[in-house]
Amino acid sequence: MILDALNALVARALACWGLAGPKTDVSLVTRRENLIYRVTVADGDRRTDFALRLHRPGLRTALQLRSELAWMQAMAEAGIPVPAPSLGARCAGRGGGRVQLQPAGLD
C-alpha cells in the first residue's frame, strides 16, 4: 500500500513537470531522509537525467526546502558544480512552486 502511494506520488510529480511518458525511466537511487529517484528521459540518441526528491513529511518545512533550492541555485550561478534546480519550468501544483507538500500518511 505504501509503495503504491509512493509510485502514485512519483507519477503525479513526473506528469506535473511534463516528464511522464514511455521515454522516461525512473529508478530509486536512495532511501534515507528522502527518497531520491533518477529520472532519465530519452530523446533519440540523447538522454537527460534529472533527480526527483520526495522528502519525508515533517523532516523539513516548505521554507527550509525553498531555502535549500535557493542556496543550490546561488552556488550553481557562482560556478560551483552542484545539481541546480530548474528555474524555467514550474509545476502546476499548489501555488505553482517547485516545492510541493503532500498530505502526511505515507510514513
Q: What is the pLDDT of residue 92?
A: 46
Closest C-alpha to 36, from 13, 53, 56:
53
Q: Which of 14-23, 56-65, 92-101 has the highest mean pLDDT?
A: 14-23
Rounded distance between C-alpha atoms, residue 94 and residue 13, angstroms: 12
Neighbours of 105 (CB within 10 A): 8
Distance CA 3, CA 9 (A): 10
Contact 34, 59 (CB under 8 A): yes
Q: In this predicted structure, which of 20-29, 52-61, 63-72, 96-105 has the lowest mean pLDDT? A: 96-105
Quote the CA–CA distance of 85 and 94 in Å, as a whole number: 18
The answer, as to whether pTM is greater than 0.85, is: no
